[in-house]
Amino acid sequence: MIRIFEELRGRGYDGGYDAVRRYARRWSKERGQSTAAAYLPLSFAPGEAYQFDWSHEVVLLSGTTVMVKAAHVRLCHSRMLFVRAYPRETQEMVFDAHDRAFALFKGTCTRGIYDNMKTAVETIFVGKGRL
């Protein structure tokens, strides 16, 4: 709902987030769980975008089972993947993963796609504002 609200704000909507959320909840209840038979393939130009996300993995290190965080950086056009394991999800590890991935890819893309990256930002503001 945040993304829809942000999109509406970008198109000139000056109402509040709660109004959008209430409308969406009512709309969803009225239409039930119906789905449409549609498929929209995504396509990206070379160098257009990469995706970044974390996963939690269980690994065996020197005979001890431990949980690690794996940083994933994937080029959207070629689907080329970079993965590196870290002990935690911290901002420094986000930066390190990007640095190493871009070195492997021999450059970066014009845009990055992130899913709820609390470790990549210091403060999240209303709308698209981030610090």
Q: Above pLDDT 90, what percent of the chain?
A: 50
pLDDT of 83 reads 96
User: How far is it, in rounded angstroms, from Cα 31 to Cα 94?
Assistant: 40
The pLDDT score that the predictor gives to residue 106 is: 95
Pick from 65, 69, 44, 68: which is nearest to 54 by CA?
69
d(CA 75, CA 68): 23
Report the predicted TM-score, pTM, of the whole model to 2 decimal places: 0.61
Give kind and range of the element (H or E) at residue 26. Answer: helix 17-31
- Residue 124 per-residue DSSP state: B
**Quick check: 45 pLDDT over 90?**
yes
